[in-house]
Amino acid sequence: MPLNIDKGLAGTVAADTALSFIDGAKGVLEYAGYDIDSLARNSTFEESTWLLWNGRLPTAAELTAFTASLQACSDLDPRLIELIRGIPKTTAPMDALRTSVSALGHFDPEADDNSPEANRRKALRLVARTPALIAVFDRLRKGKPLVAPDRSLSVAGNFLWMLTGARPTAAMEKALDVCLVLHADHGLNASTFAARVTIATQSDLYSAATTAVGTLKGPLHGGANQEVMEMLLEIGDLSKVDGYIKEKLARKERIMGFGHRVYKAYDPRATYLKTFAKQVASDTGNLALYEMSRRIEEIVLAQPNLIEKGIFPNVDFYSATTYYSLGLDLDLFTCVFAASRMSGWAGHCIEQLAANKLIRPHADYTGPHGLRYAPIGERAVSATSSTIPSARQAMSVAAGSNASSM
Ligand code: ACO
């Protein structure tokens, strides 16, 4: 069989999905046929999750029942809370989330049941409990008492309540809810792909979700929102934006929150978020940050070479100021993304299992062949060692030893 090499898999279609559709050239994102802009304006995270999992909008009765089911399972097992208490307080919240999502499975008797019914129940628990996991770790690391979930609140409202111990205003709840809607699914992005690879081995939903959290963490994926905020705080003032960004571009450094593997036009999630971020920033006295973001966008969009490459703001650019305006710590930003994307990850895993095929691509071997196995006493580092793959050299440097011992 002829093999095509497609590093980064940019031109590879590896799954069918009915969850979301992306047209990167036109800047279109739809969940099950509904444009993301109309969902951000009119839907809720609960409703969008239902839509992703069922392929149609729910009736009022269906949405009420679904919301009640989510609210009913937002409690965490006390033994799980003890386990989270054991995580060092200095751990990054995304790392703590990776551990605690994995640990959720230890307390779910259905963890290894891969029937569609059990997986739907587990999907519900994962979506309901992920915000609680994030809030519990955050409060424990700050030495604050834990806040029990409030079953009368939406996922967004309860998330803010469990994080802060204060009733969120309607505007704050709406702001977080909009962000949750916008991040819930996005085709075969890196973390969703990772989740599908894991579940395709007929592993379990908790393992797939854990894989996905670890993949989302990276700054080229979900971790970018935190880096956007760090950049804004480092710049500090509107008057310093031009110098900072232009120097960065002159050094050929990437501007975080810009560019996307699929979108070569304006990220449709950023379109509404830009207007929304302005409102939230204005309401919370953070308009200066918004103005800095807007100026960064102006500078980047005025670079012909970047426009040529299709570099526009992505969803992380304006979600950063929105989360900051909500008072969230910077290292929680990517966790919020994870809480939302759990909806898409779970939906994709269930979809993968419905027509499963092991996902197993090839690697192009670049090393030598047919070498004679020499006893250890006869081995010497020869000139040919310069031809060993650079990845192996990196491993040997990282391990501080000869790679051949690995
Ligand atoms: N700023 C400046 N230049 C950029 C940026 C950026 N943010 N992103 C890409 N480029 C340039 C690259 O330098 C490269 O230029 P070259 O062809 O002259 O070498 C070209 O655009 C293509 O970049 P690639 O990295 O090959 O594109 P890819 O599709 O692999 O990467 C990615 C997409 C990783 C998102 C990239 O745009 C990036 O690093 N952006 C910054 C990080 C970020 O915001 N990530 C969040 C993405 S959205 C999400 O995951 C929710």
pLDDT at 276: 87
What is the pLDDT averaged over residues 200-228? Answer: 96
Encode pLDDT of 61-74 as tens digits.
999 999 999 999 99
Encode pLDDT of 341-356 as tens digits.
999 999 999 999 999 9
Residues of the chain with CATH 1.10.580.10: 20-222+329-354
The reply to whether ligand 1 has any atom less than 6 angstroms from the CB of 11 is no
Is it the case that residue 404 has pLDDT exceeding 70? no
Q: Are 17 and 352 in contact (CB under 8 A)?
A: no
Q: Which two tokens stand for residue 199?
A: 């579940």
Question: Distance, CA 15 to ligand 1 centroid (Å)?
Answer: 24
Residue 95 annotated in active site: no
pLDDT at 1: 64
Which of 138, 177, 316, 331 is catalytic? The answer is 316
**243-247, 318-322, 392-396, range with greatest mean pLDDT:** 243-247
Question: Distance, CA 58 to ligand 1 centroid (Å)?
Answer: 37
Of 258, 293, 306, which is best to mutate to test ligand 1, by the most ligand atoms within 8 angstroms of its C-beta? Answer: 258
The reply to whether ligand 1 has any atom less than 6 angstroms from the CB of 223 is no
Q: Are 205 and 122 in contact (CB under 8 A)?
A: yes
pLDDT at 406: 28
The C-alpha angle with vertex 103 and arms to 99 and 107, in degrees rounded to 5, equals: 170
Residue 272 CA to residue 335 CA, distance in Å, equals 21
Residues of the chain with CATH 1.10.230.10: 232-267+287-325
- Reported confidence tier of residue 4, pLDDT bands at 50, 70, 90: confident
58: helix, strand or coil? coil
- Reported confidence tier of residue 385, pLDDT bands at 50, 70, 90: low
Residue 179 CA to residue 132 CA, distance in Å, equals 17
What is the pLDDT averaged over residues 202-208? Answer: 98
Residue 376 CA to residue 331 CA, distance in Å, equals 47
The number of beta carbons lying within 10 Å of the beta carbon of residue 223 is: 19
Encode pLDDT of 23-53 as tens digits.
999 999 999 999 999 999 999 999 999 999 9
Residue 177 annotated in active site: no
The alpha-helical segments, DSSP class H, found in 78-154 are 78-85, 93-104, 116-141
pLDDT at 98: 98
Is it the case that residue 391 has pLDDT exceeding 60? no
What is the pLDDT averaged over residues 352-380? Answer: 95
Query: At what angle are helices 333-354 and 190-200 packed, to 10 degrees?
Result: 40
Residue 209 CA to residue 207 CA, distance in Å, equals 5
Residue of higher predicted confidence among 399 and 348:
348
Q: Whose CA is nearest to atom 46 of ligand 1?
A: 221
Q: What would you report as the CA-atom Rg of the chain, rounded to the nearest whole angstrom?
A: 23
- Reported confidence tier of residue 363, pLDDT bands at 50, 70, 90: very high
CATH of domain 20-222+329-354: 1.10.580.10
Which of 260, 267, 331, 348 is catalytic? The answer is 260
Q: Which fold has domain 232-267+287-325?
A: Cytochrome p450-Terp; domain 2 (1.10.230)
Q: What is the mean pLDDT of the chain?
A: 93
- Concatenating the DSSP letter of every residue in 207-264 gives HHHHHHHHHHTSTTTTTHHHHHHHHHHHH-SGGGHHHHHHHHHHTTPPPTTB--SS-S
